[in-house]
Structure 1
Amino acid sequence: MTKDEIIEINKKQKEFYNTKNKNFATKIWSKIRHGLLANIRNEIGISNQVYGVHKVWLGNLKDKKVLDLGCFSGNNLSIYLAENAKEYIGLDLSDVGINKLNDRIKHIPNARGVVADFLNDETFSEKNFDIIYAYGVLHHFKNVDVLINRLNEKLADNGVVISYDPLETSIPVKFFRILYRPFQSDKDWEWPFNRKTYYTFRNKFNILDKHGVLGKTKWFFLLNLLPMTNDYKMKKGINWHNIDWNKSKTSEKYMFRCMHLTMLLQKK
């Protein structure tokens, strides 16, 4: 798929996120993703740990030019980035989302939201970013090579990308996605990372750090169905998460058992 073909698909993606017009199957998956899985991440503290390590990776932002890629109306760190960076640009296809973001950051002099396609030079020509923060964004590009080339064009020397994306490398997740995909409203721009995707990023960037989440921990919802004390369940869930977090950092084999992957990537 060429860059121009992706840009055409992104026009449909813009309409989708502006209207949030989802079919029944996509609504069900959204409830699972934003309900069940989000509850697991929040209960066990996974989300806070992910955002915490992202702040560590971001470091001191006072001299940094930051691109918040695909941020819609703002993710959990958008305001933090805007308030602390030397220059902040929030970028999204959706004018609905960016209008909301600009209202939230209007008090910050060096921050602005931009409605544009990341791949389109005519609508987005900014470059030399020290940091590209891409939370739940990179898997929206089917052609990983086109994406990586664009990231490298936009990054300053030694610039970094901080990403967080779904994996489809564990057998139960892959099986579920195969069943779900024919009915998915947003399938044209939803491409969870597979092994090839990960290896492509590994070959083109220096992976300075990484963590997988929801490996063992994805089964926490089953644990909640068993007649055990809440304290025991929580201790078990936290222990599973710690195993996922630590083993995925050093073992790619273990990482591929996880549902989500966050990475700190540095331009070569």
Structure 2
Amino acid sequence: MKTTQDILETNKKQKEFYNTKNKNLATRIWSNLREKTLKSIRRETGMLQQSYDLHKEWFGDLRDKKVLDLGCFSGNNLSMYLAENAKAYVGLDLSDLAIARLNKRLESIPTAKAIAADFLSEDFDESGFDIIYAYGVLHHFENVDVLIARLKEKLKSGGIVVSYDPLETSLPLKIIRSVYRPFQSDAAWEWPFTKKTYFKFDNAFIIEERRGLLGKAKWVFALYFLPLNSSKKQSLGKKWHEEDWEKSATSDKHLFNCMHVTMKMRKG
């Protein structure tokens, strides 16, 4: 298993990757599929906005909260919401180019700033966070034990992590990713959650709430090959998503059939 120093070295390559966006053909095809197909399904079924709304609900009243927006790049969908409403906001990303863009957006908010640094590095010495928002970030750490220790170190007692990450727990996804991985440009820092990963978080934090996405609903794309009108396809997609959303909250079996998981985790 990689040490902290190993991860810091890997993250130097990750920084260069996100600064240059230099993807090989296989990674461009996968990114295109993910962005144009999966994101389209998430938007059309309402699950994308539903996730953002749930995250806001989990944040609660931000007026007295210090927030870390971890791996925010130049700003995710909720970065400005957090910056404008929190008592103190810190955006953090490896990419200095992205952070420079985010700092321009934050210029009018005196309680907000963005830092280009590695979360695991000694250079990042901010702590005492009430909330760590990690949208599509936690699966970038191969050594989950190192990540968990750092998250707990940076959180106040009773603080929360709000996360959103891909799962690699359903058989179709395992097969697809195993075929794609040898050709993947960013394989060194892409580690979708396994069951073992999930239960490590479950043991380290109190998972107060969770939702799985793209379980049954991941098959919506297959409807486009059937002679169904668009309203019927959309109706089925929403129905399947709501089933995923509700059942995954309590059923591990249903959760692990999903492609994505979002969690509210509290430090004890």
TM-score range, shorter chain: over 0.9
1:47 aligned to 2:48? yes
| CA shift for structure 1 position 178 | 0.1
| CA shift for structure 1 position 233 | 1.1
- Residue 120 (structure 2) aligns with: 119
Distance 1:152 1:95 in 2: 25
| CA shift for structure 1 position 34 | 0.9
Q: How does 1:58-69 map to 2 (within 5 A)?
A: 58-69=59-70
Distance 1:104 1:32 in 2: 30
Indicate the SS of the match to 2:266. Answer: strand
Indicate the SS of the match to 1:250. Answer: coil
- Residue 254 (structure 2) aligns with: 254
- Residue 99 (structure 1) aligns with: 100
What is the aligned length?
267
Q: C-alpha offsets along residues 69-103 of structure 1, whole Å, 9 cap, x if unaligned?
A: 00000000000000000000000000011011011
TM-score by length of structure 1 reads 0.99
| CA shift for structure 1 position 223 | 0.7
The one-letter code sitting in structure 1 at the alignment partner of 2:201 is F
- Residue 140 (structure 1) aligns with: 140
Distance 1:50 1:259 in 2: 14
- Residue 241 (structure 1) aligns with: 241
1:22 aligned to 2:23? yes
Indicate the SS of the match to 2:5. Answer: helix
Indicate the SS of the match to 1:228. Answer: coil
1:34 aligned to 2:20? no
Q: How does 1:150-229 map to 2 (within 5 A)?
A: 150-229=150-229
The one-letter code sitting in structure 2 at the alignment partner of 1:25 is A
Q: C-alpha offsets along residues 157-201 of structure 1, whole Å, 9 cap, x if unaligned?
A: 100000000001010011000000000000000000000000000
TM-score by length of structure 2 reads 0.99
**More displaced 10-residue stretch of structure 1: 10-19 or 221-230:** 221-230
Any stretches of 5+ residues in structure 1 without a counterpart? Answer: none
| CA shift for structure 1 position 229 | 1.7
- Residue 82 (structure 1) aligns with: 83
**More displaced 10-residue stretch of structure 1: 159-168 or 224-233:** 224-233
Indicate the SS of the match to 1:249. Answer: coil
The one-letter code sitting in structure 2 at the alignment partner of 1:208 is E
Distance 1:100 1:208 in 2: 34
The one-letter code sitting in structure 1 at the alignment partner of 2:92 is L
Q: What is the Cα-based RMSD across aligned positions, in Å?
A: 0.5
The one-letter code sitting in structure 2 at the alignment partner of 1:108 is I
Distance 1:186 1:94 in 2: 15
| CA shift for structure 1 position 225 | 1.8
Indicate the SS of the match to 2:110. Answer: coil
